């Protein structure tokens, strides 16, 4: 089980480091994605476009190296759940938006992106379980 926890922690963390880095590189494009979701006031779009990718990279790195891993696992799972809820909400409203999952350009929100994120969330829940499982996975959790 320890190997499963370790693997999930590393893969889930690395996915967020990659996704966050893509968004950091092109914050303007990610701001456009956030704006198009129509859930944040226009004044909060740029702040979110800068803070969310930083959270993804910092928490992803923390999870990968096993430092502050419980907090990182909580933050990333909450982010994942929020992203999925927003995607679902965009689909319900019939918005034609790119998911913004790995930066500005990319796939439009669809059932496929929702299922893919569902699988990633499942991986994240395993990583969360590992991080809270009494430190059997990482010494510094």
Q: Which residue ranges make up the site for other proteins (CB under 8 A)?
A: 24, 27-28, 31-32, 35-36, 42-47, 49-51, 53-55, 57-59, 62, 68-72, 74-75, 132, 134-135
Nearer to other proteins, 74 or 116 (CB): 74
Half-sphere exposure at residue 88, Cβ-oriented, CA atoms within 13 angstroms: 10
Nearer to other proteins, 40 or 116 (CB): 40
Return the closest-CA partner of residue 61 out of 98, 18, 2: 18
Nearer to other proteins, 49 or 121 (CB): 49
* Residue corresponding to tokens 């996915």: 15
Closest distance between other proteins and the C-beta of residue 120, in Å? 19
Closest distance between other proteins and the C-beta of residue 85, in Å? 19
Closest distance between other proteins and the C-beta of residue 83, in Å? 16
64 contacts 6 by C-beta, under 8 angstroms: no
Cα–Cα distances in Å, from 11 out to 4, 61, 92, 141? 10, 11, 30, 17
């Amino acid at each position: 089980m320890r190997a499963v926890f370790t693997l999930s922690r590393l893969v889930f963390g690395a996915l967020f480091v990659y996704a966050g880095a893509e968004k950091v590189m092109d914050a303007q494009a990610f701001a456009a994605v956030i704006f198009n979701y129509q859930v944040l006031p226009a004044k909060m779009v740029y702040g979110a476009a800068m803070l969310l990718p930083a959270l993804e990279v910092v928490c992803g790195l923390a999870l990968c190296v096993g430092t502050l891993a419980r907090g990182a696992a909580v933050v990333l799972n909450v982010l994942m759940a929020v992203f999925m809820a927003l995607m679902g909400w965009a689909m319900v409203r019939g918005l034609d938006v790119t998911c913004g999952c790995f930066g500005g350009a990319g796939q439009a929100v669809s059932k496929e992106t929702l299922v893919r994120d569902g699988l990633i969330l499942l991986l994240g829940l395993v990583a969360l379980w590992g991080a809270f499982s009494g430190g059997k996975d990482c010494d510094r959790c």
